[in-house]
């Protein structure tokens, strides 16, 4: 065996990801750009094992919104349709997350921060987050940055949900600096987020 033979064997022995994994790596790189494009600085991704609240009222057929009217928490069926654990609170003002999906449907969502162990002043600070002008055009901005024009409406919504939660955490942390991310703590805790979506044709981008 000469050096050339060995070099050839070495090159061929390189463990290589599957084409599926390589494709996912590219998608992940696009999603990461989307995270960066959010309203607040980049941070870490979300935990896997957490609750996600999605448009319970619409799924139950209780709602058929049309047009581009303003959505309220009530219309989207947040409370009382989506229940919370006894020690968990949720912001009362939703952040509008509106975008046109790959089926050319306008999806209108409201995003809410869920928390534990906040005092009144901290709850007020979180509610004020929702009224910030930083959220103007937010949903479409995130979708554009994700650069997933060919993804299904469901995949687009899932990707947006990921980014929204990360952005809400960072916005919440800015408003309440002592807040920690989904930990067991006696202090302020960011307990996740809820995103309720609806449009004239369905929910969460689904037909």
Hey, what's the torsion of the CAs at 198, 203, 204, 207, to 10 degrees?
Answer: -130
In the complex, least distance from residue 203 CB atom to other proteins, rounded to whole angstroms = 18
In the complex, least distance from residue 165 CB atom to other proteins, rounded to whole angstroms = 9
In the complex, least distance from residue 122 CB atom to other proteins, rounded to whole angstroms = 24
Using rule CB under 8 A, residue 149 touches other proteins: no
- Cα 75–81–83 angle (5° rounding)? 135
**89-90 and 106-116: which strand pairing?**
antiparallel
Using rule CB under 8 A, residue 3 touches other proteins: yes
Q: Hey, what are 178's tokens?
A: 């002592």
For other proteins, which residue of 31, 91, 122, 156 counts as binding (CB under 8 A)? 31
For other proteins, which residue of 100, 134, 154, 162 counts as binding (CB under 8 A)? 162
Q: Hey, what are 183's tokens?
A: 């930990």
Helix, strand, or coil here: 14?
coil
HEC string of 93-137? Answer: CCEEEEEECCCCCEEEEEEEEEEECCCHHHHHHHHHHHCCHHHCC
Question: Between residue 5 and residue 24, which ones bind other proteins under the rule CB under 8 A?
Answer: 6-7, 9-18, 20-22, 24
In the complex, least distance from residue 177 CB atom to other proteins, rounded to whole angstroms = 20
Using rule CB under 8 A, residue 123 touches other proteins: no
Helix, strand, or coil here: 52?
coil
Binding site for other proteins (CB under 8 A): 1, 3, 6-7, 9-18, 20-22, 24-33, 35-37, 41-49, 147, 158-159, 162
């Amino acid at each position: 065996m000469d050096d050339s033979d060995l070099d050839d064997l070495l090159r061929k022995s390189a463990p290589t990801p599957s084409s599926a994994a390589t494709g996912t790596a590219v998608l992940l790189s696009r999603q990461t750009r989307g995270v960066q494009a959010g309203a607040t600085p980049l941070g870490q991704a979300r935990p896997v094992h957490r609750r996600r609240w999605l448009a319970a009222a619409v799924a139950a057929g209780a709602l058929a919104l049309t047009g581009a009217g303003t959505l309220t928490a009530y219309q989207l069926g947040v409370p009382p349709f989506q229940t919370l654990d006894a020690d968990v609170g949720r912001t009362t003002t939703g952040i509008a997350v509106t975008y046109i999906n790959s089926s050319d449907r306008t999806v209108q969502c409201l995003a809410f921060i869920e928390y534990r162990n906040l005092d009144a002043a901290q709850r007020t600070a979180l509610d004020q987050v929702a009224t910030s002008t930083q959220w103007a055009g937010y949903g479409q901005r995130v979708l554009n940055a994700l650069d997933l024009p060919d993804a299904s409406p469901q995949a687009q919504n899932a990707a947006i949900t990921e980014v929204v939660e990360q952005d809400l955490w960072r916005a919440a942390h800015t408003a309440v600096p002592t807040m920690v991310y989904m930990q067991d703590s006696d202090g302020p805790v960011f307990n996740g987020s809820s995103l309720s979506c609806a449009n004239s044709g369905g929910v969460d981008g689904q037909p």
